[in-house]
Amino acid sequence: MQHPTRPITRGLTGLALTMLTVPALALPAAAQTQTSHHTIRYASVDSCPRKDGTATPCHTWRLDLLDGRRVALKDAMLWPLTAKGRPDRTNSAPLTVSGDGESVAYFRKSDHRLVVREFHGGVRVMPRSPLPRGLGMNAAWLKLSQDGDRLALGYIAGDGRTRVRLFDVARASATGTTPETDGFAGFSGDGSSVLLQRAGDENTIGLAVHDDTGAELAAAVPPQIVANNGPWGLSADDRTVAYVTGLGEKARLRFYDVATDQATGSVRFSLPKDAALDMIDWTGGHEVTLHLVRSQGSRDVVTVLKVDTETGRTRVRDSYKVRSGAFAYLSCGG
């Protein structure tokens, strides 16, 4: 994956080029209840062929909603600009959806400003020139926190390392920038900190927790069982990392403390054998949400599971097929 219900008419004013009903997979009543407060399932952009045989993003970004509707996000940039200000038609412009499905961040087509649109509020415009001089949007990516209150803008610098600039969305201001990192694992459950990945000596992987100013809170080189089983999800306590090992009935949800470099327990739960774990997010004090992806022909099928971290009890929050012909799609997180 390149890498949902209150009325949305007011929040989408000026955005909807078209609105149509599209089929969604049937969900149990309990699952529908659990997702009734969400808006967006995922964002996607069409794929069109180029003369040289390669594919390019085309038309406009579209938002598929939980209630089956689809809307066009017409003010979002389609292609990212290079450092020279030219459109890179081989890639889609950065865009991200918050975990709760209520906000979407992107670069605005009219003025190239970085914005966060809240469906039931307004548009927050981030500071000008969010990227360092000499870098284009095609070297950047975006990630919103679970509640959409925090935004991460990651970019690959000239040295090949990643840095992440962090923003307070409500204040429309930058709060800090992380040190060099080899990967961004995501926000903590409450959005107050981020989990970074670092390459260590002798092919080891390190994990580090940083606050919203970029300052380090904790860091460790975890055991292989942790390092080899990403993705990881950081709890709101700024130290507990959740990850998954195994498949089917042998799957386990495990926990690791970055501050003490210690395993802190695990619970057994059931995980489909034919699906890949794409995302893991803390969505409560004792709950994580997993996004699982499996291929069905030319389309991906996404299943969203909620797992109780104390009992291992699992329930389906949502399940859907990504529309065919998509160049890229981005699911909401937790």
Q: What is residue 199's predicted lDDT score, i.e. its pLDDT?
A: 87
Q: For residues 38-62, b (16+ Cβ closer than 10 Å) or e, as one string? A: bbbbbbbbbbeeeeeeeebbbebbb
Residues of the chain with pLDDT > 90, as a percent, come to 81
- Residues 153-206 pLDDT 10s: 999 987 888 999 999 999 999 999 999 999 999 999 999 999 999 987 778 999
Q: What is residue 119's predicted lDDT score, i.e. its pLDDT?
A: 80
8 A C-beta contact, residue 137 and residue 81? yes
Domains of the chain: 19-331 (2.120.10)
Q: For residues 100-126, b (16+ Cβ closer than 10 Å) or e, as one string? A: bbbbbbbbebeeebbbbbbbeeeebeb
Name the pLDDT band for 334 (thresholds 50, 70, 90).
low
pTM over 0.85: yes
Q: What is residue 320's predicted lDDT score, i.e. its pLDDT?
A: 96
CA distance 145 to 333: 8
CA distance 255 to 148: 25
Query: Cα–Cα distances in Å, from 174 out to 136, 164, 168?
Result: 19, 11, 6
